[in-house]
């Protein structure tokens, strides 16, 4: 049982009225502040089980080690998922310099440690400029992208060799909010399909000492702000 499932079981059961269920069936857009360690599907499964309708889906995956805004649509509003998924995203988080991980984040252990003590603000600014605008990005091999129907992470875990293809993305803005080496804090506004984990890995390559994503929070999707989102214990009250 994963951490998300354990956290779900700790929550008290919710009993909805028929009027509430009918409202979810007619269609709702729920702004959820996804907890750490929950998968996006954990959130969908919890909501689906609570409101007892089949049509529930999310508009853009958040990794288990990321928190923040997850748009969930119910009932007839599931038709809007692609519309919301296409909107730009805003993230805040941190990179750690001086090592890499196979998953590009803390889902795997840091390795290939290198000295980061000589990294300068000029190097950091140069990396930011190279990773801003229209760029090509290789997704992490440990990702949910499918190859012939199989998620890449399953192939990677089986030790199979996977040939990745670069994807064109757009980084509208990339701001370094603070630096306390080896930690670099950032804010990024980007197009759909962007992997912030890959940004971390590429950032480390450019600087030369490696880097991995150590924290991530999605703060906005289009005009929807995480400040307007609710936790999993309160979604049914919306």
The catalytic residues are 63
Rg of the chain's alpha carbons, rounded to an integer?
Answer: 19
**Phi, psi (5° rounding) for residue 110?**
-60, 145
Q: Which residues contact 145 (CB under 8 A, 6 or more apart)?
A: 139, 151, 152
Residue 29: CB atoms within 10 A of its CB come to 16
The tokens describing 125, both together, are 């600014």
**DSSP states along 91-150:** EEEEEEES-B-TTSBTTS--BS----TT--HHHHHHHHHHTSEEEEEPPPSSSS-EETTE
Task: Count Cβ neighbours within 10 Å for each residue of 165-190 and write b for 16 or more, e otherwise.
Answer: eebebebeebeeeeeeebebbbebbb
SS3 166: coil
């Amino acid at each position: 049982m994963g951490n998300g499932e354990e956290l779900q079981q700790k929550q008290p059961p919710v009993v909805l009225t028929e009027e509430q269920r009918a409202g979810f069936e007619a269609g709702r857009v729920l702004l959820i502040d996804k907890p750490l360690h929950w998968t996006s599907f954990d959130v969908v499964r919890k909501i689906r089980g609570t409101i007892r309708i089949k049509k529930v889906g999310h508009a853009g995956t958040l990794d288990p080690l990321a928190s923040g805004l997850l748009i969930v649509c119910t009932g007839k509003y599931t038709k809007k998922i692609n519309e919301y998924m296409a909107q730009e995203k805003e993230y805040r988080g941190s990179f750690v310099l001086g090592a890499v991980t196979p998953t590009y984040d803390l889902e795997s252990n840091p390795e290939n440690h290198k000295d980061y003590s000589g990294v300068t603000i000029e190097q950091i600014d140069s990396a930011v400029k190279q990773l801003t605008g229209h760029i090509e990005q290789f997704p992490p091999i440990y990702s949910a992208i499918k190859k012939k129907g199989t998620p890449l992470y399953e192939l990677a875990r089986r030790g199979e060799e996977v040939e990745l293809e670069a994807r064109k993305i757009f980084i509208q803005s990339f701001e370094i909010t603070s630096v306390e080496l080896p930690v670099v804090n950032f804010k990024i506004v980007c197009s759909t399909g962007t992997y912030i984990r890959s940004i971390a890995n590429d950032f480390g390559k450019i600087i030369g000492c490696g880097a991995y994503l150590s924290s991530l929070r999605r703060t906005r999707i289009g005009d929807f702000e995480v400040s307007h989102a609710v936790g999993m214990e309160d979604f049914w009250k919306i």
